[in-house]
C-alpha cells in the first residue's frame, strides 16, 4: 500500500509539474479542462494549503458578519476556496473561471450563487465597479495563467474599503513572475489605489513537484508561497 501511495504521488507531481511549465494560456486552459475531474484529489495529494490559508487571512480582516459579505472567487476552479468560505459562514459567493470543465465541477459543489465563464487577462470581469466586499484569487497567479496586467480588474470590482486577497508560489520557477506581481501590487499602492494589510510568507505551501523546486534549506520537500491582502482605498 505504501508503494502504491508513493507511486500515485509521483504521478501527481509529474502532472502538476507539467502544468507549471505551460506558459501559453490556451494550452493551460486545455490542460485544466482535462484535469478538472481529478483536480481536487491531486492537489490534496500535494497537501495544497492555499485555499484554507487565504480564507483564514481574509476572515481575520473582513469587518461585519460573514453571511452579509458578497465575495468573488476569481479563477475559482472546482470550488476549493468556496468550501473554505462556507465553513466560516460566508454564504454569498460568486465565482469566475476560464475553464468550462472546471466550472462544471464548481457548479456541482453547490456553494456558489452565481458562476461565470471569464478568462481574466483576455476579458474584464463580468461585474460592475465596486460590487464585492472581498475578491480572492488563489492559485492562479503564475506564468500562463492570470497576467499581472489583470490585477487592476480585481481592484475595480471591489467596493471602496473592500478587500482583495491574492496568492502566488515562491518556488524557484515562479520567482520571476512573483517579482513582476509584487511590482504591480506596489505600483497600485503608490498610486493610492489600495493599502497593503498583509504579505505573509508560508513555508509549507504544498509539496514540490521536483527537487529543483525546493529552496536550499527547505524541509520536508515543500515549497513556499505568499498571501497578500489589500484594502481598496475609499474615494477622498
pLDDT of residue 19: 86
Positive or negative torsion for Cα 193, 51, 19, 202: positive
CA distances to 160, 230, 235 from 198, rounded to whole Å, are 18, 7, 22
Residue 7 has pLDDT above 50, yes or no: no
Which of 114-118, 139-143, 181-185 is least confident? Answer: 139-143
Average pLDDT rounded to a whole number, residues 11-39: 91
Whole-model pTM: value is: 0.94
On the question of pLDDT at 20 being above 60, the answer is: yes
pLDDT bucket at 6, cuts 50 / 70 / 90 = very low
pLDDT score for 236: 58
HSE-up (13 A, CA, CB side) for residue 107: 10
Predicted confidence at residue 17, as pLDDT, reads: 87
Average pLDDT of 133-156? 96
Q: What are residue 229's DSSP bridge partners?
A: 165, 198
Q: Which sequence spans correspond to the domains of the chain? A: 2-232
- Whether the CB-CB separation of 198 and 168 falls below 8 Å is answered with no
206/71 Cα distance (integer angstroms): 25
Joined together, the cell numbers standing for residue 220 give 520536508
CA 55 vs CA 50, 60, 88, 210: distances in Å: 8, 9, 9, 27
The bridge status of strand 194-207 relative to strand 222-232 is antiparallel
Q: Report the pLDDT value the prediction gives residue 12, as an integer from 0 to 100.
A: 92
Beta-carbon contacts of residue 11 (< 8 Å; ≥ 6 apart): none
| Architecture field, domain 2-232 | 3-Layer(aba) Sandwich (3.40)
pLDDT tens column, 51-87: 999 999 999 999 889 999 999 999 999 999 999 999 9
Dump pLDDT digits (tens) for 92-127. 999 999 999 999 999 999 999 999 999 999 999 999
Asked which of 142-146, 152-156, 183-187 is least confident by mean pLDDT, the reply is: 142-146
Residue among 11, 70, 66 nearest 42 (CA): 11
What pLDDT score was predicted for residue 21?
A: 84
* pLDDT 10s digits, 190-236: 999 999 999 999 999 999 998 889 877 666 899 999 999 999 998 75
d(CA 178, CA 157) in angstroms, rounded, equals 23
Confidence (pLDDT) at 219: 66
Instruction: Give pLDDT, residue 4.
Output: 36
Amino acid at each position: 500500500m505504501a508503494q502504491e501511495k508513493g507511486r500515485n504521488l509521483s504521478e501527481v507531481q509529474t502532472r502538476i509539474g507539467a502544468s507549471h511549465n505551460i506558459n501559453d494560456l490556451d494550452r493551460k486552459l486545455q490542460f485544466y479542462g482535462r484535469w478538472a475531474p481529478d483536480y481536487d484529489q491531486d492537489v490534496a495529494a500535494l497537501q495544497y494549503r492555499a485555499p484554507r490559508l487565504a480564507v483564514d487571512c481574509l476572515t481575520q480582516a473582513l469587518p461585519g458578519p460573514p453571511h452579509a459579505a458578497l465575495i468573488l472567487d476569481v479563477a475559482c476552479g472546482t470550488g476549493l476556496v468556496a468550501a473554505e468560505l462556507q465553513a466560516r459562514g460566508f454564504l454569498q459567493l460568486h465565482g469566475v473561471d476560464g475553464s468550462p470543465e472546471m466550472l462544471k465541477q464548481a457548479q456541482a459543489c453547490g456553494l456558489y450563487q452565481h458562476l461565470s465563464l471569464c478568462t481574466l487577462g483576455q476579458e474584464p470581469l463580468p461585474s460592475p465597479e465596486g460590487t464585492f466586499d472581498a475578491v480572492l484569487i488563489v492559485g492562479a497567479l503564475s506564468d500562463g495563467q492570470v497576467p499581472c496586467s489583470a490585477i487592476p480588474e480585481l481592484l475595480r470590482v471591489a467596493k471602496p474599503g473592500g478587500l482583495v486577497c491574492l496568492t502566488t508560489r515562491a518556488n524557484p520557477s515562479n520567482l520571476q513572475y512573483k517579482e513582476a506581481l509584487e511590482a504591480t501590487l506596489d505600483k497600485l499602492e503608490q498610486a493610492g489605489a489600495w493599502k497593503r494589510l498583509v504579505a505573509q510568507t508560508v513555508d509549507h505551501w504544498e509539496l514540490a513537484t521536483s527537487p529543483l523546486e525546493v529552496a536550499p534549506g527547505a524541509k520536508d520537500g515543500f515549497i513556499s508561497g505568499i498571501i497578500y491582502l489589500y484594502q481598496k482605498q475609499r474615494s477622498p
